[in-house]
């Protein structure tokens, strides 16, 4: 099984690359939607497509289209940490 820290680092690097920022500037609390977000809507879609590819390589389908996905209070895209947690939950079949 893939290490959670490795997955978190891959997601962090993907976000940093899309945001055109250094990877170490992307923290777990970095916002992905709303005011202060590091990604615009097009970059967020690009990130989702990259995560779909990563999930496929790991042998599962990443679902980023739930009703609450874009919710600022409970959605998976509210922060880097919440996105990483959701990705790992889906990987482990806990969703």
Contact 14, 33 (CB under 8 A): no
- The confidence score (pLDDT) of residue 33 equals 85
- According to the model, what pLDDT value does residue 30 have? 96
Instruction: Tell me if the domain spanning 4-91 has CATH number 2.40.160.
Output: no
Q: What is the DSSP string of the chain?
A: ---HHHHHHHHHHHHHHHHTS-GGG--TT--SSSTT-SS-HHHHHHHHHHHHHHHHHHTS------TTTT-TTT-TTSSHHHHHHHHHHHHTT--
Q: Structure pTM?
A: 0.87
Sorted by where each begins, the domain ranges of the chain are 4-91
One pLDDT digit (tens) per residue for the chain, 95 residues = 468 999 999 999 999 999 999 999 999 999 998 888 999 999 999 999 999 999 999 999 999 886 655 555 567 888 999 999 999 999 998 76
Question: Do 62 and 55 contact (CB within 8 A), yes or no?
Answer: yes
pLDDT at 34: 84
């Amino acid at each position: 099984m893939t290490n959670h820290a490795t997955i978190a680092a891959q997601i962090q690097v993907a976000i940093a690359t899309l945001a055109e920022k250094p990877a170490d500037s992307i923290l777990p609390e970095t916002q992905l939607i709303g005011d202060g977000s590091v990604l615009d809507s097009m970059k967020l879609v690009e990130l989702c497509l990259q995560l779909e590819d990563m999930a496929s390589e790991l042998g599962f389908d990443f679902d980023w289209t739930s009703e609450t996905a874009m919710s600022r209070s409970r959605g998976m895209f509210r922060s880097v940490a919440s996105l990483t947690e959701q990705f790992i939950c889906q990987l482990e079949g806990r969703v």
